[in-house]
């Protein structure tokens, strides 16, 4: 089987490492010649290049570009593909991608592997990134069952734990546990950076330790990704932000009223509630 990968960053590059290691012929395409050269040197692909026509005989293509470029990338490659080629993407939003991509290519099925590290780019690519990672497959009514089966099989072979759901339910779930955390974490960084007294701000900067570091990590991450989460999953993100703000108002109100029974219950509950989200 010949597999194509468009976009050779952390996700595309890591996919390439695992797929070449499993003996597949992997064609890697990037807009940057330098990235192509690095990908070839690292063993991410067996052939690399900037020309989309390199993908013309692939059985399966992973589109690993930033969210905003996925549909355009599919539009650019379909003229070169035989109809049996299956295309998937790895974007962290699905509603804005699956319907238009399926219109462009009936053998399209959306994927979202929930894997990552703190780093970006081809140099960050690593083996076994997908081992034990959840991966969501998001078919719609028009999606070909063969494409679903084939894509599911390959993610499973890479070690993913599979979930199948609609693009809408996917986007709603990730708004809560992935996009909302980015925004509240970024807002913490901004708020702490606006401490009015210079002396107190410098002290806060000196004293910040692991608690601040962990809570602010995703807010200090890739700004392009955060922006695209908001642009392409705006309504679900807003819903989660509005609920979050309502709960915050309740919390503030109870602290103002010194309603310590409420706060004690609120903080005790989180230990158990959080455990439901850990694996």
Which residues, numbered 130-159, are part of the site for a copy of itself (CB under 8 A)?
133-134, 136
* Per CB under 8 A, 93 contacts a copy of itself: no
* Per CB under 8 A, 187 contacts a copy of itself: yes
Strands (DSSP E) contained in the chain are: 2-6, 25-29, 47-49, 60-63, 86-89, 108-113, 134-138, 161-164
* Per CB under 8 A, 120 contacts a copy of itself: no
Indicate which single residue of 50, 106, 153, 193 sits in contact with a copy of itself (rule: CB under 8 A): 193
Minimum distance from residue 141 beta carbon to a copy of itself (Å): 18
Q: Closest CB to a copy of itself among 141 and 207?
A: 207
What's the start-to-end Cα distance of the chain, in Å? 34
CA nearest 233: which of 167, 181, 189? 167
Minimum distance from residue 182 beta carbon to a copy of itself (Å): 7
Q: Quick check: 185 and 219 in contact, CB under 8 A? A: yes
- For residue 223, the surrounding DSSP H or E stretch is helix 223-232
- Over the window 226 to 265, marking each residue x when it contacts a copy of itself by CB under 8 A and - when it does not, the resulting string is xx--xx--x--xx-xxxxxx-xxx-xx--xx-x-x--xx-
Minimum distance from residue 130 beta carbon to a copy of itself (Å): 12
* Per CB under 8 A, 198 contacts a copy of itself: no
Q: Quick check: 18 and 25 in contact, CB under 8 A? A: no
CA nearest 128: which of 262, 21, 3, 278? 21
Minimum distance from residue 16 beta carbon to a copy of itself (Å): 22
């Amino acid at each position: 089987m010949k597999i194509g990968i468009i976009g050779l960053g952390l996700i595309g590059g890591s996919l390439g490492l695992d797929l070449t290691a499993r003996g597949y012929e992997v064609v890697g395409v990037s807009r940057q010649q330098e990235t192509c050269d690095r990908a070839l040197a690292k063993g991410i692909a067996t052939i690399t290049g900037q020309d989309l026509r390199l993908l013309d005989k692939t059985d399966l293509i992973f589109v690993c570009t930033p969210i905003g470029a996925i549909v355009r990338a599919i539009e650019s490659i379909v003229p070169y593909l035989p109809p049996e080629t299956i295309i998937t993407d790895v974007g962290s939003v699905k509603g804005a991608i699956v319907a238009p991509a399926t219109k462009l290519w009936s053998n399209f099925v959306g994927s979202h592997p929930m894997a990552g590290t703190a780093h970006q780019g081809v140099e960050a690519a690593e083996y076994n990134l997908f081992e034990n990672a959840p991966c969501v497959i998001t078919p719609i009514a028009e999606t070909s069952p063969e494409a679903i089966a084939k894509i599911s099989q390959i993610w499973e072979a890479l070690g993913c734990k599979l979930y199948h759901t609609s693009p809408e339910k996917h986007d709603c779930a990730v708004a809560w546990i992935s996009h909302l955390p980015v925004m509240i974490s970024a807002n913490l960084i901004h708020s702490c950076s606006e401490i009015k007294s210079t002396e107190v701000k410098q002290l806060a900067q000196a004293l910040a330790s692991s608690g601040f570091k962990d809570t602010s990590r995703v807010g200090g991450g890739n700004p392009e990704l955060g922006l695209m989460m908001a642009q392409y999953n705006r309504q679900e993100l807003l819903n989660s932000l509005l609920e979050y703000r309502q709960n915050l108002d309740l919390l503030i109100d109870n602290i103002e009223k010194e309603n310590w029974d409420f706060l004690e219950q609120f903080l005790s509950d989180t230990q158990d509630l959080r455990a439901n989200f850990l694996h």
